[in-house]
């Protein structure tokens, strides 16, 4: 029996079984569609996180108060949370700011001086992370978070860029720089030299930043930046010489671990602590990216594992269908063998049928999966405000990403599942004796 004859005969058998064949294929369709959707969502989530965190700058470290023994040499969850507060909590009112209470001494000018003496450090600046303030412009009010920066260092340390105007300079006590999305929050668009009122104090907008696309726990595009001097007036828990955190620009990102160790050593002396009483954390964006990437990979694996259960159910359905097919065609198998059909050809016949079921289920599952991905992406982008996560954080990144490799893998995997599921029934059919098969009714 030629391969072409085997293929045609297998198609005819599946066609004559009609509804049963489609119900079996349906199990594979659901499984493949679920895998496509889950893996695409996982890839999209990973891409979003990488895009958000890539804007931090690998040559910028953050020193913050508080320490947890679970964090390891270059960060950890507590350090990551502190860094996220610094980078991402400057945005949409009431969204995603993680408050962390600590009794550890605040960072001061003494710590800035100490860190600046560490080998590998180029520049150190204190920052003040504020809570929400009421901002007025032409009788309109919005609630925004603010960030206090050191004008002398900010321009050289930030990864943000200007769309118009300039960065803050020394003496800009009544001037501010705003994120790209702030002006769109008012009916009358804000521009450079516009006057705004923050908690009753008048300020002049001297710069507007380019859209950064960073988000997660907030949004840098919806933040207001002012000098540390003015930021302290809106902050109740910091003294005149205290900062929320320190930003540290290093000379060589490839030596980040050694530089972190150098910074820790000078801070031990500055803050009169040791490894057991450590009350600060030095965070590296590189280690954070690695940690978050590993977490996202774990989540993606978990999602695919859930979806794979559907494929297992589909595989059981194929096996059941093929067993029934062998039972129903036992006499026909006997006739084939009496006419000289070899066992290997009988095996190929049933394996081809199960492979077709798997392939057809995979093909239709890919189409259904693409529809689901499109729906999820559309719903997710609408939920996040036209592609912006948490108020504009994600601008050009899809919620789910489908790659050609994923489609090819899904088709091959579903076909292999079909073959494996039909292997035992096919072997059973091939081993039937002619006499016993011919006696079957």
Tell me, what's the pLDDT at 115? 93
Tell me, what's the pLDDT at 434? 74
Greatest mean pLDDT among 9-13, 86-90, 435-439: 9-13
Rounded average pLDDT over 101-121 = 84
Share of the chain above pLDDT 70, in %: 80
* Cβ-based neighbour number of residue 156 at 10 Å: 11
Beta strand spans in 35-120 (E): 60-65, 107-108
Tell me, what's the pLDDT at 294? 78
Q: Do 307 and 406 meet the contact criterion of CB atoms below 8 Å apart?
A: no
Report the C-alpha gap between 397 and 47 in whole angstroms.
Answer: 7
**Residue 325, exposed/middle/buried by CB under 10 A (0-12, 13-18, 19+)?**
buried
Model confidence pLDDT, tens digit, residues 157-196? 888 888 899 999 988 889 999 988 888 888 888 889 999 9
**Alpha carbon 415 to its chain's center:** 30
Report the C-alpha gap between 322 and 332 in whole angstroms.
Answer: 15
pTM: 0.58
More confident residue, 329 or 125: 125
**What three-state secondary structure class fits 236?**
coil
Residue 321 reports pLDDT greater than 90: no
Structure tokens at 202: 């008048």
Model confidence pLDDT, tens digit, residues 224-253? 999 998 998 888 888 888 898 999 998 888
More confident residue, 275 or 54: 275
């Amino acid at each position: 029996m030629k391969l072409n004859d085997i293929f045609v005969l297998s198609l005819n058998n599946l066609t004559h079984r009609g509804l049963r064949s489609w119900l079996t294929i349906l199990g594979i369709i659901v499984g493949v569609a679920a895998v496509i959707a889950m893996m695409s969502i996982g890839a999209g989530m990973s891409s979003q996180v990488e895009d958000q965190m890539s804007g931090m700058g690998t040559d910028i470290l953050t020193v913050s108060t508080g320490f947890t023994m679970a964090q390891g040499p270059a960060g950890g969850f507590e350090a990551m949370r502190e860094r996220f507060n610094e980078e991402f909590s400057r945005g949409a009112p009431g969204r995603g700011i993680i408050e962390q209470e600590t009794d550890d001494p605040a960072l001061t000018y003494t710590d800035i001086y100490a860190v600046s003496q560490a080998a590998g450090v180029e520049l150190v600046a204190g920052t003040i992370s504020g809570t929400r303030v009421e901002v007025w412009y032409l009788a309109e009010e919005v609630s925004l978070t603010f960030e206090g920066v050191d004008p002398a260092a900010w321009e050289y340390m930030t990864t943000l860029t200007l769309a118009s105007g300039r960065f803050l300079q020394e003496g800009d006590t009544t001037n501010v720089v705003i994120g790209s999305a702030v002006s769109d929050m008012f009916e009358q668009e804000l521009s450079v030299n516009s006057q705004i009122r923050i908690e009753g104090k008048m300020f002049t907008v001297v710069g507007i930043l380019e859209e950064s696309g960073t988000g997660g726990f907030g949004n840098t595009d919806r933040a207001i930046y002012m000098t540390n001097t003015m930021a302290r007036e809106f902050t109740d828990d910091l003294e005149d010489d205290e900062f929320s955190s320190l930003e540290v620009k290093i000379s060589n990102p490839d030596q980040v671990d050694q530089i972190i160790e150098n910074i820790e050593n000078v801070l031990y002396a500055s803050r009169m602590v040791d490894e057991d009483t450590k009350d600060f954390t030095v965070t590296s964006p590189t280690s954070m990216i690695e940690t978050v990437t590993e977490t996202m990979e774990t989540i993606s694996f978990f999602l695919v594992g859930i979806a794979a259960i559907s494929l297992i159910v589909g595989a059981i359905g194929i096996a059941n269908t093929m067993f029934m097919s062998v039972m129903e065609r036992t006499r026909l198998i006997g006739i084939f063998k009496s006419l000289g059909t070899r066992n290997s050809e009988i095996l190929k016949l049933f394996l081809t049928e199960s492979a077709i079921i798997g392939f057809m289920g995979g093909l239709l599952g890919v189409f259904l999966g693409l529809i689901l991905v499109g729906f999820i992406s559309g719903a997710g982008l609408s939920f996040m405000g036209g592609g912006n996560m948490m108020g504009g954080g994600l601008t050009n990144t899809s919620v789910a990403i489908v790659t050609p490799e994923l489609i090819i893998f899904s088709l091959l995997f579903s076909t292999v599942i079909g073959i494996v599921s039909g292997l035992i029934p096919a072997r059973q059919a091939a081993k039937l004796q002619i006499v016993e098969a011919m006696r079957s009714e």
